[in-house]
Amino acid sequence: MKKYHTVLTIAGSDCSGGAGIQADIKTISALGCYAASAITAVTVQNTCGVSAIHPIPAEYVKSQIEAVMTDIKPEAVKIGMINDVEIVRAIASSIKTYRPKFVVFDPVMVSTSGCKLIEDKAIEAIKNELIPLSTIITPNLKEAIVLTGDNISHAGSMIEAGRKILNYGCHSVLVKGGHLDGDDMCDVLCINGDSNPYTFTARKIDSHNTHGTGCTLSSAIATNLALGYTLQEAVNRAKEYVYKGILTGKDIHIGNGHGPLNHFHTPVPMHIFAENE
């Protein structure tokens, strides 16, 4: 029997199409996997910012996940924006029940435009209930600061933050340093049991079109894990994909704020495999 490699994204909907579920589906599809989705919230937003968030009732989030996991059985799950405690617990319960091979968690707390996207009381639930179930979490600097309580201003402090987050029980942490000062980007991957962190560096691209980059990166990591790449390979390939998306989309005008990157700069055919492989 032939099948597609499948990824489930659990995240909020972005009606402007640049982030959230919409960016996830574009990314998973562009990289050659089949995308399924469970929506955690409906947001009212565009390239200028988020003006409203309507959480989906937790039982409906859980039912969406169950419908996909019992039928399609995705190899990887990407988790994005979660607005309240009940949804955190619904997702954690589902992960424990269905045990997908890979769980990529992007702890979305603040949008690119600076809008807060999560309730304060949900943060502790994330630390205690969801992070320990994750293969990798991908916080940016602001999110890493929220998770650790530490000031993070250089690569060394990023490594310290990553190691501190590992104590919550996840397998690995990618601390994203795109907001550091300077002309270069530096992301740090810390893996539980590995004393040597991995660093990924690249020259910053001068672009206003960065809406949804975190959603896109985490979805690309999940997709590459589903395709069979190692964790380090999956992160490296995902970062290359996002970099090209920013580079090829930097001169495109979509909206009046932070526009999206170009998700379809190099689309690949859907990967098909035999179930007994």
Indicate the domain borders of the chain: 2-274
What is the per-residue pLDDT for 117? Answer: 65
What is the per-residue pLDDT for 114? Answer: 58
- Catalytic residue from among 80, 162, 212, 249: 212
Indicate whether 123 pLDDT > 90. no
- Catalytic residue from among 26, 62, 176, 239: 176
40 given a catalytic annotation: no
What is the per-residue pLDDT for 185? Answer: 83
70 given a catalytic annotation: no
210 given a catalytic annotation: yes
Strands (E), 80-211: 102-105, 136-137, 172-175, 184-191, 198-203
Q: In what order do the strands lie in the sheet with 136-137?
A: 49-55, 34-46, 6-14, 76-79, 102-105, 136-137, 172-175, 184-191, 198-203
Mean pLDDT of the 133-145 span: 94
Indicate whether 180 pLDDT > 80. no
The matching CATH number, chosen from 1.10.1740.10, 2.60.120.10, 3.10.129.10, 3.40.1190.20, for 2-274 is 3.40.1190.20
Give the Cβ contact number of residue 107 at 10 Å. Answer: 26
Residue pLDDT, tens place only, 21-68: 999 999 999 999 999 999 999 999 999 988 998 999 999 999 999 999
pTM over 0.75: yes
Indicate whether 157 pLDDT > 70. yes
Indicate whether 6 pLDDT > 70. yes
Residue pLDDT, tens place only, 189-216: 999 998 899 999 889 999 999 999 999 9
149 given a catalytic annotation: no
215 given a catalytic annotation: yes
Sign of CA dihedral 93, 98, 101, 104: negative
Give the strand pairing for 198-203 and 272-274: unpaired
Indicate whether 173 pLDDT > 70. yes
What is the per-residue pLDDT for 276? Answer: 64
- Catalytic residue from among 9, 213, 216, 223: 213
176 given a catalytic annotation: yes
- Of residues 252 and 153, more confidence is placed in 252
Supply the mean pLDDT for the chain: 92
Contact 9, 63 (CB under 8 A): no
Give the Cβ contact number of residue 268 at 10 Å. Answer: 11
Of 30-44, 158-172, 174-188, 227-241, the one with minimum mean pLDDT is: 174-188
Sign of CA dihedral 18, 134, 87, 226: positive
- Catalytic residue from among 215, 245, 249, 259: 215
pLDDT-based confidence at 83, cuts 50/70/90? confident
